[in-house]
Amino acid sequence: MKTWFITGCSSGLGSGMAKYFLEQGDQVVATARKVESLEQFANEKNALILPLDVTKIETIDQAISKALEKFGKIDVLINNAGFGFRGAVEEANDSEIDRIWQTNFFGAVHMIQKVLPSMRENRSGTIVNITSIAAFETAAGSGYYGATKAALESISDALRKETAPLGIRVMIVEPGPFKTDFAGRSLAISEKNISDYNETSGKRKFRNDPHTEWRLGDPALAAKVISEVLNQKEIPARLLLGSDAVEIGERYCENRLNEIRQWKSFSVQTDSK
């Protein structure tokens, strides 16, 4: 029986993962900023529902302490809490930029720092960081969101090398579009509008797109895949979720390799003779 600690369980991927793991008989620490949004798990005997705002260190300390007190250990930390932001790079103000970085990046980093002592003591554990396909192919208007996810991937790469000798695994999960509320209440829009960007980032500055049939991802199936992958002897550094994510990932890698080769003759000229 595993103990999963999941941030951002009020809806979407977080809610789907918590529900699936509980159905499998595992123990789940389900967290959200508003604990009333977790009522669906209130009567689950293997669930511990806790308030958690990843931008506030004191709530992180309290939640991890209560989780360890109840279950004894945390086998898997899933950093899922976060939100999207749309606006041109020039349009975002300091407050908007700080908010998304504090949640999407520093919130995950602080969770990692606080859970690692118990994992190091046990010489076991897994950290799963939910990023996005935007980490490697960022659309116009999603620059700050993509930047937070790319930064989380970079720090995950270093973390993997640091913790592997201690028996702690690290995996990045890169979802494509999922059938969640990400484009609704989980999406912020820049306050400032510059007309010159109307045909680029401006076209994506909307919420609650009624046409969601193109989103292929199912949160319940994502939880199943993550669980099955983590049960493997070896796990990937990066796990794409969704056929659309795979298509984007393959195209990005091919384009990047082609570009490296195209400009290689210039790149190598900086070597000292």
Which pair of structure tokens corresponds to residue 262? 């195209």
Amino acid identity for residue 63 in this structure: A
Nearest-10 Cα torsion for 113, 108, 151, 11: 160
Catalytic residue among 144, 145, 197, 252: 145
| Cα first-last separation, the chain | 59
The rounded radius of gyration (Å) of the Cα atoms in the chain is: 19
* DSSP assignment string, 212-226: -TT--B-HHHHHHHH
Burial 121-134 (b: 16+ CB within 10 A, else e): eeeebbbbbbbbbb
> Is residue 20 flagged as an active site residue?
no
Q: Give me the active site residues, please.
A: 145
